[in-house]
Amino acid sequence: MVAMEEFLTVPEVAARLRVSTETVRRWLRAGKLKGVQIGGTRVGYRVRGSDVEKMIAEAEAKPASSQRETSPL
């Protein structure tokens, strides 16, 4: 049996990354974070849990001096 990929809403992603929902939406529009828009603009974006974890890992791997204010960590 194949495991289903977990998809998160914008508020769920924001909570995991400890940023605002608008920051998550900005990252999605800019392509910094991958996501799909389900059902048009009314339903909103969904983001793979693995993409959020990847973003966290990349942020942790960067030296503290190179992280910007909008960094997820």
2-18 tens-digit pLDDT:
678 899 999 999 999 99
Spatial distance between the Cα atoms of 50 and 39, rounded to a whole number of angstroms: 22
| Number of compact structural domains in the chain | 1
- For the domain that residue 48 is a member of, what is the CATH number? 1.10.1660.10
The two tokens of residue 71 are 């960094």
Examine residue 73 and state whether it is found in any structural domain, yes or no: no
In a domain, 32, yes or no: yes
Judge whether residue 1 has pLDDT over 90. no
Does residue 22 belong to any structural domain of this protein? yes
Prediction pTM value:
0.75
Considering only CA atoms, which of 19, 31, 5 is closest in space to residue 67? 19
Give the pLDDT confidence of 15-64 residue by residue, as tens digits. 999 999 999 999 999 999 999 988 877 778 999 999 999 999 988 888 76
- Is the pLDDT score of 73 beyond 60? no
Its domain, for residue 32, covers 7-66
Which residues on neighbouring strands pair with residue 36, listed in sequence order?
A: 46
